[in-house]
Amino acid sequence: MNQTKVNNLEALAKLVRFYILRMSTKAGSGHPTSSLSAADLMTALFFGHLKSGFDHVIFSKGHASPLLYALYTAAGEISESELDTYRKFGSILEGHPNPRFKFAEVATGSLGQGLSVGVGMALGMKLETGNWKLETGKVYVLMGDSEVSEGSVWEAIQIAAYYKLNNLVGIVDVNRLGQSMPTMLGWDVETYAKRIESFGWDVHVVDGHNFGEINTTFGKLGKSSKPQMIIAKTIKGKGVSFLENKEGWHGKVLNEEQFEEAVRELGEVDRMMRGKIAPPNGGALKTQNSKLKTVNTKYKILNTEYKLGEEVATRKAYGEALAKLGDINSDIVALDGETSNSTYSEIFREKHPSRYFEMFIAEQNMAGVALGLSKRGKIPFASTFSAFMTRAFDQVRMSAYSLGNVKFVGSHAGVSIGEDGPSQMGLEDIAMFRAVFGSVVLNPSDAVSCAKLTAEAAAHEGIVYIRTARPATPVIYENTEEFKIGGSKMVRTNKADKLTIIACGVCVHEAIGACDLLKGDGVNVRVLDAYSIKPLDEKVIKEAASETNNLVLTVEDHYFEGGLGDAVLNVFSQSGLTKVYKLAVSKMPMSGKSSELLGFEGISSVAIYNKVKELLNFTSSRQISEM
């Protein structure tokens, strides 16, 4: 790079620093010092090396949003007046970037997640070529040195090396200072380099304020067969002497007097440069999932061939359905946390090996990678045991804020898994996924409903959670039945019904068993399969309640808190007419047979039968007890 270009970059970096200080001072909040440290690195990347419509940039270090917005202002994509709205209510220039700002593909700032998203995007770009060795654009991920303490970063580092993602470039801004104290390694960039290199990356150590070194390094990134990491030694607050390398300035801004002093120290700032240097072609960085709407209608033809009464685990039905969906739509991909022979995602892997990505036992990274794949127009299904989804909750909620199109599938839900014991039982997952903004939560009860709902999940754009079970359960629906998000199925109904049992998953079968027991006493109850827990079929639930003496009993293989019962309670929260009673897991689970544990927790057919007897206040000459 010639000296004129270097001079232009240095002048642009000064303008970028001016904008960083100006917007954060006017906002009265923000992270200017963390932005100043990476200003030279990102100015060189954006205005010297980013390829138009080809490369992507993720600010995993999301608190450095002043830097991101300053770069686009310098590029002429944001006006100075709009920059003054930073952090104000209604502004797209929020405190941490998210897709409301059109050049931010994902929401960032929950530290440690950006590199996983970058892995997913890099994988997606490789898939698009159809040839793993062909040149693609690059994904650049800016990280802070503090966030490298997050385990998810190292999960991403090892999987990127495993898949040989030479189109992925990490940049660690080593400015030494964290939020409250110095980082563990400080400026020991050589130790950072050794650790990352040991995972199979090519590593480049640079002075993060030397444009010669920075440009040379960016210029040679295309020559590696491995993922690459730039370790940049920087100074927090660089460019303003009273901020440089000073503790106590993280998340603090200048007052007007300090701002004027800082601007004088920056020297002459050429604001006329704005928009006159080749911009980073931001509009082309926005990925659109353009293929979704053209193929979704095909999912309706998904055929199932299960026989009524046949016992099939919903987890297996999921795997079979996903493989069929993969035949229909080449954008469907599968990821698994090294449980594919339990979740049955192995069926997809066998049919579509190039679109299956093993994530090993690293659920946080799996969720982040799935988000990145969705941003390349893929429709990722990410599966593991439902209990282990809890590890990735932060990544799941950030996927929602990123407008991700990800399908999470949790198998081995509830105490019905049996002998493995409580560490393997997903008992919090419904509550967790219900709490995610805009999410859909599905809990099918048999093979037909699971297969059809897997197709519905693929057709739905957004975050979907499918809860599957370990034990085989009888097929109760004809193959011609249709299922929709927000729907339900009435599996037992009679005009003389005295109460409505609302259940999901394996407990639908327990409710059916209780219904049959009650018939022996001449008592009719209604059984509703609430397979869609969010959104819930409120209309049908209200109608059922009104027709059955306003008595409702919910049953679920999940803890009391936040599950199906609470969702149903919300339906009647404004009404004093309907009484809702709940059966759910309440005791510390243990190892045992599925039937033993369902009885122990009071959610078996016998337990439901006894609860209905109590609620309807009738006696029976029969003595029915758990087997």
Buried b (16+ CB within 10 A) or exposed e, 271-302: eeebeebebbbbeebeeebeebeebbeebeeb
d(CA 385, CA 470): 10
Could you tell me which residues come within 8 angstroms of residue 325 by beta carbon, excluding any fewer than 6 positions away?
Answer: 299, 302, 332, 454, 455, 458
Buried b (16+ CB within 10 A) or exposed e, 411-434: bbbbbbbbeeeeebbbbbbbbbbb
Catalytic residue, from 363, 428, 556, 601: name it: 363
**Cβ–Cβ < 8 Å for 401, 395:** no
Q: What are the backbone dihedrals phi and psi of residue 96, each rounded to the nearest 5 degrees, phi first? A: -130, 140
d(CA 485, CA 535): 7
The dihedral formed by the CA atoms of 387, 388, 391 and 393, expressed in degrees to the nearest 10 = -70
Angle 599-383-169 from CA coordinates, rounded to 5°: 150
End-to-end CA distance of the chain: 80
Closest CA to 442 of 489, 479, 477, 501: 489
Which amino acid is located at 353 in the chain? Answer: P
For strands 407-411 and 464-467, give the pairing. parallel
Query: Is 256 assigned a catalytic role?
Result: no
Element (H, E) at 153: helix 151-162
d(CA 93, CA 82): 8
d(CA 89, CA 73): 20
Peptide bond into 589 cis (omega under 30): no
**Residue indicated by tokens 């095909």:** 298
Which positions are annotated as active-site residues?
Answer: 363
